[in-house]
Structure 1
Amino acid sequence: MQGRLVLVMCNLKARNLVGFKSHGMVLCAVATNADGSESVAFVEPPAGAVVGERVTYDGVTGGEPWTPAQVEKKKVLVSAGEGLVSDAEGVAKWNDHVMLTSAGPCTSPSIRSGILR
């Protein structure tokens, strides 16, 4: 992952990960292969995306980010995760809303029509 841009779901309840506390999760696209195995690839922000910027969704307005306690209590990852997919062109979406940065849509070039997690 060094030297590349990735999308991180932030403000999560801290979890131990290889000896340190993690408050985020890297977003990946997943596809099930014919043999039942899974292929996994990073969801990528477009070239020119600004490190640390907040990802938005077309047609959706949002307020301030929730705290880790709110995210945990309201089970945001469970409910929001059900709508996270990559379409037939590999564009990342949540409930049919394109996942956007200031430089354009986020994509999963190698996994199309997959789920995001």
Structure 2
Amino acid sequence: MKRSALLLSAVVTGACAFAPAPRRNTHPQQASPVEAEGTPTDKKPKKKKKPQQQQQAPAEIDVSKLNIVVGEIKKAWEHEEADKLFCEEIDCGEDEPRQIASGLRAYYNVDDLVGRRVCVLANLKARKLVGFPSHGMVLCASDEEGGVVFVDPPTDAKVGDRVTCEGFEGEPATENQVQKKKIFEKVYPDLRTDANGVACYKGKPLAVGGGTCVASLVDAQVS
């Protein structure tokens, strides 16, 4: 009896060992509609983007960016190391006279300079010319034949008065802007005297008060 029970137990145990394992559910359980949709959240309304401010167009470069003023030469002498240069002290209506070097020794004598009224480009950065600190430039007219003459302001113009041009009103640029943007290099090709010797920018006279700036050379470049 005991032997029969042991055999029966062995048969049952073997059957369990070789019985197939219960099949797993290979299909993932689908989420319930509530789980699929998720719980609703309170979303803040999106702020509308403000339209970007229109960028201001860069200021047009013209003669108004040059600070040309009336000056009077108080002193002038020959540069000791440069054969072409005069050294000048020019009153431009500021606290102190400006020192400016001009390559005019081939065209003028010292006596021609002292006491003369001239047009001075006053918003150039100071730089040394053969060791002489020059702060500005005296405007002259030059022609293809090699002539060079001063551009003269009106006789009734006052020292420090600004030279203007009708149709090109505006404030002058800073010295740094003139250098960085190469303003003079862009403007001066349109600076010329007309058939009457009047200094013009794009055909419009350079003026101080009610008078115009003139030179004795016609159809000449002004620089």
TM-score scaled by length of structure 2? 0.48
Distance 1:11 1:21 in 2: 15
Partner of 1:41: 149
**What CA deviation, in whole Å up to 9, does each residue of 1:13-35 have, x standing for no partner?**
211135432220000000112xx
Larger Rg: 2
Partner of 2:144: 32
Matches within 5 A, 1:1-117: 1-17=113-129, 19-33=131-145, 38-63=146-171, 65-108=172-215, 110-117=216-223
Q: Kindly indicate whether the alpha-carbon contact (under 8 Å) linking 1:8 and 1:27 is maintained by their aligned counterparts in 2.
A: yes
TM-score scaled by length of structure 1? 0.89
Could you tell me which runs of 5 or more consecutive residues in structure 1 were left unpaired when the two chains were aligned: none
Write the letter of the residue equivalent to 1:92.
Answer: A
Poorly superposed stretches of 4+, deviation over 2 Å? 17-20
Write the letter of the residue equivalent to 1:71.
Answer: V
Q: Kindly indicate whether the alpha-carbon contact (under 8 Å) linking 1:29 and 1:86 is maintained by their aligned counterparts in 2.
A: yes
Residues 4 and 90 of structure 1: is their aligned pair in 2 closer, same or farther, counting only changes over 3 Å? same
**What CA deviation, in whole Å up to 9, does each residue of 1:87-117 have, x standing for no partner?**
0000000111210001410000x20110111
Identity, % of aligned positions: 45
Structure of higher RCO (CA pairs closer than 8 Å, 6+ residues apart)? 1
Write the letter of the residue equivalent to 1:62.
Answer: G
Task: Work out the number of aligned pairs and report it.
Answer: 111
SS across alignment from 1:6: strand
Distance 1:104 1:18 in 2: 36
Residues 100 and 83 of structure 1: is their aligned pair in 2 closer, same or farther, counting only changes over 3 Å? same
Residues 53 and 18 of structure 1: is their aligned pair in 2 closer, same or farther, counting only changes over 3 Å? farther
